[in-house]
Structure 1
Amino acid sequence: MDIHHFAFIRDEDTDCFISAFGEDEENVLMIQLAFEFDKQDTELGWDTYCLVLPSQATFYGGVQKCALEGEKLTLWLSDEAKAELEIDDLELHLCPWMASDPQLIHALTTVFNVPRDRPELVLNPSSSALQA
């Protein structure tokens, strides 16, 4: 997926952080994390981040590893997430400016900072872009 748009917001209306990666306005992958979880969220296994695909297919948790290496962001998914979402691991190709945007690192460390289903994070942004 070639990513041309990135946003990270604190949405007070939905009480969650939203990290959005888009090819265009229609094809957007979102990773959302609620500000807090209630008893029902915990009972249902929703006390973690949530992946929302452009098709609106949704899965709670499921990322085993998240790696930012230069201009490539890869999300390795659990077998359960792949089966439920009917996809393979996600490979996002970022614009050069995104790979060095401190907001991207902040977004990833925020949405994946959960006690349950916390993926391994490997964050190596583009060093050439950081020097520009």
Structure 2
Amino acid sequence: MTTTSRRRWPRISPVTLLMGVAGLLAVVSVGVYRTKLMQLADIRAERNRLQAELAAEQQRSVDLRATQAYLESPNAVENEARKLGYGFADETRVIVVTPAGYVAPTPAPPPPPPARPQNWRVWWELFFAPET
């Protein structure tokens, strides 16, 4: 006797089916929302990094413009010319030659500070010193 009995799935009511679909949609929505939040956090971090980089580059630009303005000024040209050994036509240049083997004298040590009187003597003078 071979009877094939088919196993029947229990019937699902429409309300249960609707609740299951709604729950599934809620889980999927939370997953998508979480992904979007993570992307938003990454975008904000990138924006902050780029703003910091922009501020640094703007400061660098200001510094470079100030350096350019100085280098184009007559003072900078004169300073660089003097470093290279050039001078004005009406100037007399003096070159100081140090003899070979010359050792500069060591400066004299500073004088020692005056000796501090003992505490009892300071108090004695405060109370019993003659008034002037």
- Same structural fold, with TM-score higher than 0.5 when normalized by the shorter chain: no
TM-score by length of 1: 0.15
Larger C-alpha radius of gyration, 1 or 2?
2
The structure, 1 or 2, with the larger RCO (C-alpha pairs under 8 Å, 6+ apart) is 1
TM-score by length of 2: 0.15
- Where is the strand percentage greater, Structure 1 or Structure 2? 1
